[in-house]
Amino acid sequence: MPRVTFTANLRRLVDCPSADVPGGTVGEALAAVFARSPTLRGYIVDDQGALRRHVVVFVGGEAVRDRVRLSDAVAPDAEIAVMQALSGG
């Protein structure tokens, strides 16, 4: 199963341990994570389900292309990393 990991900056705010979840796309894998911890959903996607503007998801080191429908395919052994853009002061 794909493995989903989260940036330490997010782990500081909400409980989100790494998880092995079923799913053939980024959206399916994240949906499985959100089913386990519903609060986490709003931290990663906006009210319409698209990735938040300053959240980046990498699959095998590549940033996903479809940030709206999260349709990028993931292999069964994929590493999905939920990261953030850096900004602010």
Partner 1 sequence: MDTILVGTRKGLFTLRGGEIARVSFLGAPVTAVLARNGALHAAVGHGHFGAKLHRSRDQGETWEEVAAPKWPEKPADADERSPTSGAPWPWSLDQIWVLEADPRGPDALWCGTIPGGLFHSADGGGSWRLVRSLWDRPERKQWFGGGYDFPGIHSICVDAREPQRVLAGVSCGGAWLTEDGGETWSVASRGMTAEYMPPEKRGDPVIQDPHRIVRCAGAPEVFWAQHHNGIFRSGDGARSWKEVKAKPSSFGFAVAVHPRDPDTAWFVPAVKDELRVPVEGALVVTRTRDGGKSFETLRTGLPQRHAYHLIYRHGLEVAPDGQTLAMGSTTGSFWLSRDAGESWKALSRDLPPVYCVRFAR
Residues in contact with partner 1 by CB under 8 A are 9-10, 13-14, 39, 42-44, 46-48, 52, 54-55, 84-85, 87-88
| Ranges of H-type helices in 1-89 | 8-11, 26-36, 38-44
Give the nearer residue to partner 1 in terms of CB position, either 38 or 76: 38
Q: CB of residue 29 vs partner 1: minimum separation in angstroms?
A: 19
Structure-block tokens of residue 35: 């089913």
- 3 — phi, psi (to 5°)? -110, 130
Structure-block tokens of residue 73: 């395919």
Question: Can you say how many angstroms the Cα of residue 87 is from the centroid of all Cα atoms in its chain?
Answer: 19
Q: Are strands 55-59 and 19-20 parallel, antiparallel or unpaired?
A: unpaired
Q: CB of residue 41 vs partner 1: minimum separation in angstroms?
A: 10
Q: CB of residue 87 vs partner 1: minimum separation in angstroms?
A: 8
Q: CB of residue 57 vs partner 1: minimum separation in angstroms?
A: 13
Give the nearer residue to partner 1 in terms of CB position, either 1 or 43: 43
Give the nearer residue to partner 1 in terms of CB position, either 39 or 71: 39
Structure-block tokens of residue 57: 């998801």
